[in-house]
Amino acid sequence: MKKPLIDQVDREIIEILKIDATITNKEIAKRVSLTPGPCLTRVQKLWKNKVLLSTHVRVNLDLFGFPDAALVEVGILEQESAAFERFCLEQENVTDLHALGSVFGTIPLSRYMLTYHTSDKEFDAAALAKKWESIPGIVSLNVSRIRKTMKVCGAEISEP
């Protein structure tokens, strides 16, 4: 696939949309010093060339009873990776799942990073690790509680 040409104005538009995908074209144009017509043409071109792929909404998970979260890094036997992906997609506590790539040594492993949310105010990373170690094919597991999220998709997160 041919790499699209992106100039500084396109980069500014992308950064604006990363922070707020609901912003009006008129406001984007104002921020990048363009008139609305050429600005809209640029945004449409970014979508057409698949530079922009989707828009996302951040949900306040506290309102759903999930105030705490952890990052979980998993190494799993390659042959169990499809089952692990299905398992994660079925878990309401797992909001993000990233395939990090494979490691090929004596045993081929697939690596993943996921975000796990919990309603447990006394969140215990060791207990979560023990629970997940029972999943078939798990070879390595590292659970780290998220203390504070400071930036998401280019936007700084302010304290409530």
Asked if 19 and 42 sit in the same domain, the reply is yes
What is the CATH classification number for the domain harbouring 98?
3.30.70.920
Q: What is the mean pLDDT of each run of 10 residues along the chain (160 residues)?
A: 80 88 93 96 92 75 69 89 88 86 79 85 77 85 76 54
The residue behind tokens 């449409």 is 44
75: helix, strand or coil: strand
**How many domains, the chain?**
2
Closest CA to 123 of 64, 74, 84, 66: 66
Asked if 30 and 76 sit in the same domain, the reply is no
Structure tokens at 48: 């057409």
Asked if 104 and 77 sit in the same domain, the reply is yes
Whole-number Å distance between alpha carbons of 70 and 79: 26
Asked if 65 and 136 sit in the same domain, the reply is yes
Closest CA to 143 of 65, 68, 82: 68
Asked if 29 and 84 sit in the same domain, the reply is no
| Any domain includes 104 | yes
Asked if 16 and 81 sit in the same domain, the reply is no
Asked if 40 and 80 sit in the same domain, the reply is no
| pLDDT given at position 112 | 92
Whole-number Å distance between alpha carbons of 15 and 145: 28
Asked if 65 and 117 sit in the same domain, the reply is yes
Domain region containing 22: 8-48
Asked if 36 and 66 sit in the same domain, the reply is no
Residues 6+ apart with CB under 8 A from 95: 61, 69, 115, 117
Asked if 140 and 96 sit in the same domain, the reply is yes
CA 150 vs. chain centroid, Å, equals: 14
| Any domain includes 12 | yes
| pLDDT given at position 160 | 46
Total residue length of the chain: 160
| Any domain includes 23 | yes
Asked if 41 and 83 sit in the same domain, the reply is no
| pLDDT given at position 13 | 93
